[in-house]
Amino acid sequence: MIFLGIESSCDETGVALVEADVEGIPRLRGQALYSQIEMHRAYGGVVPELASRDHIRRVLPLARQVMREARAELRDIDIVAYTQGPGLAGALLVGAGVACALGASLDRPVVGVHHLEGHLLSPFLGADPPAFPFVALLVSGGHTQLMRVDDVGSYTLLGETIDDAAGEAFDKSAKLLGLGYPGGPALAQLAVSGDPARFDLPRPMLRSGDLSFSFAGLKTAVMVTLRKLGPSPSDQDRADLAASTQAAIVDVLVRKSITALQDSGLDRLVVAGGVGANAALRGRLNAEGARRRFNVHYPELALCTDNGAMIALAAAMRWQRRIAAPRRDHDFNVRPRWPLAAA
């Protein structure tokens, strides 16, 4: 079975082909991705209307590119999958509309996929795929969650942020430091030359007794620290504050993840989402995994961002387990707010 996956939930347009047998891990045959970062940079963040219009421009050329790369024809597609939510409503509608129109024209079924499920399962396309069950840390600009994953479609929420997501804390702190968009990678780059121990920033909810997260207070602490440094902090001041901010975020993510593993009795952790590409987070988790004897699995770096491959993969793995049969009515709707546990 060949699955075409379309991702358009925010500011990346992704299309991919995945092939799956009844059993075994599906295989990626081709993918193409277009990022809107340069377009949104001038505004300091994602402009939803511009994002939707750009998805319209990009999705069909990307689909043609993927078909050429995979040496496939449209008639080879068996199921068309698309991101149904969560995400920006207008952006989601572009992918849903194209997927359902393509399904109708080819007389193929379509299936809507949960965006976070795609991220969660994306390490299965890597060189070191995990085995079920595992604890998943889903960490991005819009989400920070710990989940127990017993199988595809079997998810238990262990904890999530009560305010800002970790990626949002990176981005907002970067903006306070005068860094460009996207802020997270810029802050991480600046942190390389900084001292993470110079500023004693808070680790919110580290001792809360549960697996909830909170990062809004950290952003405030960064703002207060900048004010104390005066109107013109030196380059080293900014680098040290960036390093200290990153260290605080990473510390909370790592220690909460360890607690989740201990509480669940599991020894496998999957890290997914854009923040999962952060080198400091990966380094700390790898060190803790070696010391505490648990395994850590990540997506390939190219699959940490939003992409069509993870959507096609999630659809394929659900098909293998006969979960949520694809539809042939080709009516579509999107779900901008959609808890993963309800998927």
Whole-number Cα distances in Å, 314 to 247, 263, 324? 32, 27, 11
What gap in Å lies between CA 7 and CA 113, rounded to an integer?
A: 9
Q: What pLDDT does 260 receive? A: 98
Give the per-residue pLDDT at 342.
80
pLDDT in tens, 36-50: 999 999 998 999 999
DSSP-assigned states of every residue in 261-298: HHHHT--EEEEESGGGG-HHHHHHHHHHHHHHT-EEE-
Residues 6+ apart with CB under 8 A from 118: 7, 83, 310, 311, 313, 314
Per-residue pLDDT, averaged over 260-287, amounts to: 97
**From its phi and psi, is residue 205 left (phi > 0), alpha (psi between -120 and 50) or beta?**
left
Are the beta carbons of 169 and 215 closer than 8 angstroms?
yes
Residue showing tokens 């595992």: 134
Helix (H) or strand (E) holding 10, with range, is none
What's the confidence (pLDDT) of residue 93? 98
Contact 98, 308 (CB under 8 A): no
The predicted-structure confidence for 182-211, as pLDDT tens digits, reads as follows: 999 999 999 999 999 999 999 999 999 999
Phi, psi of 156 (to 5 degrees): -120, 120
Say whether 245 sits in a helix, a strand or coil.
helix
Residue 122 has which token pair? 């994306």
Beta pairing class for 2-7 and 12-19: antiparallel
d(CA 259, CA 213): 13
pLDDT at 327: 87
CA 79 to each of CA 109, 222, 265, 343: distance values in angstroms, whole numbers, following the listed order? 5, 48, 37, 19
Summarised one tens digit per residue, pLDDT across range 275-284 is 999 999 999 9
pLDDT digits (tens, 9 = 90+) for 213-233: 999 999 999 999 999 999 999
Range 121-142 average pLDDT: 96
Helix residue spans in the chain (DSSP H):
37-41, 48-70, 89-106, 115-121, 166-176, 183-191, 216-229, 235-264, 279-292, 308-320
Of all residues in the chain, the percent with pLDDT exceeding 70 is 100
The span from the CA of 243 to the CA of 335, in Å, is: 37
What is the Rg, in whole angstroms, of the alpha carbon atoms belonging to the chain? 20
| Helix pair 166-176, 216-229: axis angle to 10 deg | 20
Domains for the chain: give ranges and CATH numbers.
2-122+303-342 (3.30.420.40), 132-298 (3.30.420.40)
Is residue 142's pLDDT more than 80? yes
* Per-residue DSSP letter, 61: H
Write out pLDDT tens, residues 286-314.
999 999 999 999 999 999 999 999 999 99
Where residue 332 falls among pLDDT bands split at 50, 70, 90? confident
pLDDT (0 to 100) of residue 258:
98
How far is it, in rounded angstroms, from Cα 158 to Cα 141?
19
Residue 88 class from Cβ within 10 Å (0-12 exposed, 13-18 middle, 19+ buried)?
A: buried
pTM: predicted TM-score of the whole model, two decimal places: 0.96
- Quick one: which H or E segment has residue 160? strand 154-160
